[in-house]
Amino acid sequence: MTQPAVNRVVLAYSGGLDTSVILKWLKETYNCEVVTFTADLGQGEELEPARAKAELMGVKPEHIFIDDLREEFVKDYVFPMMRANALYEGLYLLGTSIARPLIAKRQIEIAKLVGADAVSHGATGKGNDQVRFELGYYALQPDIKVIAPWREWDLTSRTKLIEYAEAHQIPVPKDKRGESPFSTDANLLHTSSEGKVLEDPWEEVPNYVYSRTDDPETAPDTPEYITIDFERGDGVALNGEAMSPATLLTALNALGKTHGIGRLDLVENRFVGMKSRGMYETPGGTIYHAAHRGIEQITLDRGAAHLKDELAIRYAELVYNGFWFSPEREMLQAAIDHSQEKVAGTVRLKLYKGSVSVVGRKSPNTLYSEKVVTFEDDAGAYDQRDAAGFIKLNALRLRLLGRRDGR
């Protein structure tokens, strides 16, 4: 594979060993200028050290970008996805998938700002993240050059990587010298863990893998009740206190952590064609997801709700596969958002040792009518005799079939 000529590349840079090696390798291999971009998506790490490291590696100060994207992340990515009730393969809340498009978008913005002709990321060649990053890049800047070092270089083992680092004066933290027993990704929505000790799907996930949630067994013995308020399909308050999107999710994360909520052990199908096993911790997102379904139960019409359930399958697949910036994801979002206008009110939830349960919901926009549904006399709100005709006409085609086919 011949290398394209590259002048300036914007690298998604964490400051860690891998992306530091990439930074160096990009300079060496392409003889180009590297611009670093480090995003705070709520992964829970200090970002300023990344600046110091980048400077040490010779990146110009004006080429070091460190952005706090937490509010944008929750407001424009997590919440729209939560409106869809998206679950990949029935279970996964898409915590990694949903962060990638925002990183890609910001990288392209920076590339335009600094006049870079290429972007680069640290995702491997077997995973979904390379796809998500690169589909984002190409959608937003079709002629950008994309450099994916893990697919290109020959640093195919950790030993080689560390040798390269040492040969190039890149500091190698002690805990990175040995093999990490698994690999993680974190942001405000979740932490994922995969690889190594998790690779046998028959083996239970060891306790030391969990970092975002306390063990349900040691969680409080008393349930905690909370309320979340919604407006237009989005959470706006916790226990009656108004909060910004990222503040709300952060608070829910703390609650979810305490009560051991949101652990998921999953074998999933990657877009690149293989099965992988991951362990996801999505404490606040799991609570939020349950709450959103709860408020929809009383404010969403059946027709809208059932259509949404069908669209959500496709939506989740698109987000997982990296097609956030695609017309079809946007079409689905338009349909979903149209349904959320009246999704407002309060959901009451019970948190207890790993579980979250909706125990109450109320709304000024409720479509639930006690008067209609009641077992008591409904004063004519519903004429039970209508049901006879309803059933007769729904049965008509089945009767015609039955007459033809017998059974």
Q: How many Å apart are CA 131 and CA 320, to the nearest integer?
A: 10
- Decide if 129 is catalytic: yes
129 in a labelled binding site: yes
- Residue 342 neighbours by CB distance under 10 Å: 18
- Decide if 183 is catalytic: yes
Q: How many Å apart are CA 148 and CA 182, to the nearest integer?
A: 22
Selected catalytic residue, list 8, 158, 183, 270: 183
Judged by CB, which is closer to its own copies: 157, or 244? 157
- The two structure tokens encoding residue 196: 């190594």
Q: Which stretch binds its own copies (CB under 8 A): 15-23, 163-171, 234-242, 379-387?
A: 379-387
What is the pairing mode between strands 263-269 and 275-281?
Answer: antiparallel
Selected catalytic residue, list 83, 100, 106, 263: 100
Q: Could you say which residues in the range 319-378 bind its own copies, by CB under 8 A? A: 323, 325-328, 330-332, 334-339, 342, 348, 350, 352-355, 357-362, 365-370, 372-375, 377
Amino acid type, 269: N
Judged by CB, which is closer to its own copies: 189, or 261? 261
Which residue among 202, 208, 379, 380 contacts its own copies (CB under 8 A)? 202
Size of the site for its own copies (CB under 8 A): 129
For the chain, the C-alpha Rg in angstroms (whole number) is 25
Beta bridge partners of 33: 8
Judged by CB, which is closer to its own copies: 183, or 247? 183
Cβ neighbourhood burial of 37 (10 Å; 0-12, 13-18, 19+): buried
- Decide if 18 is catalytic: yes
Q: How many Å apart are CA 200 and CA 270, to the nearest integer?
A: 16
Q: How many Å apart are CA 294 and CA 326, to the nearest integer?
A: 29
Angle 380-381-386 from CA coordinates, rounded to 5°: 80
Judged by CB, which is closer to its own copies: 236, or 325? 325
Site string for its own copies, 74-113 (x = CB under 8 A): -----------x---xxx----------------------
Query: What's the min distance (Å) between Cβ of 103 and its own copies?
Result: 16
Judged by CB, which is closer to its own copies: 52, or 372? 372
Contact yes or no for 250/283 (Cβ under 8 A)? no
Q: How many Å apart are CA 274 and CA 51, to the nearest integer?
A: 36
Judged by CB, which is closer to its own copies: 38, or 346? 346
Q: Could you say which residues in the range 124-163 bind its own copies, by CB under 8 A? A: 124-126, 130-131, 134-135, 138-143, 148, 150-151, 156-157
Q: Could you say which residues in the range 216-245 bind its own copies, by CB under 8 A? A: 216-217, 221, 223
Q: How many Å apart are CA 97 and CA 382, to the nearest integer?
A: 46
Q: Cα separations (Å) of 53 from 9, 35, 160? A: 17, 13, 21
Query: What's the min distance (Å) between Cβ of 399 and its own copies?
Result: 4
Find the distance separating the first CA and the last CA of the chain, reported in whole Å. 65
Site string for its own copies, 23-62 (x = CB under 8 A): ----------------------------------------
Query: What's the min distance (Å) between Cβ of 170 and its own copies?
Result: 21
Query: What's the min distance (Å) between Cβ of 64 and its own copies?
Result: 25
Query: What's the min distance (Å) between Cβ of 16 and its own copies?
Result: 16
Q: Which stretch binds its own copies (CB under 8 A): 37-45, 64-72, 230-238, 293-301?
A: 293-301
- The two structure tokens encoding residue 350: 């019970």
| Residue in 129, 153, 141, 131 with CA at minimum distance from that of residue 9 | 141
Q: How many Å apart are CA 116 and CA 35, to the nearest integer?
A: 8
Q: Which stretch binds its own copies (CB under 8 A): 5-13, 35-43, 50-58, 301-309?
A: 301-309
Query: What's the min distance (Å) between Cβ of 246 and its own copies?
Result: 24
The edge-to-edge listing of strands for the beta sheet with 263-269 is: 183-186, 191-194, 275-281, 263-269
Amino acid type, 338: H
Which residue among 5, 242, 254, 274 contacts its own copies (CB under 8 A)? 274
Selected catalytic residue, list 51, 129, 185, 329: 129
Neighbouring residues of 149: CB distance < 8 A, sequence distance ≥ 6: 22, 25, 26, 120, 122, 155
> Known catalytic residues?
18, 100, 129, 183
Annotated binding site: 12-20, 39, 92, 97, 122, 124, 128-129, 132, 183, 192, 268, 280
Annotated binding site for ATP: 12-20, 39, 122
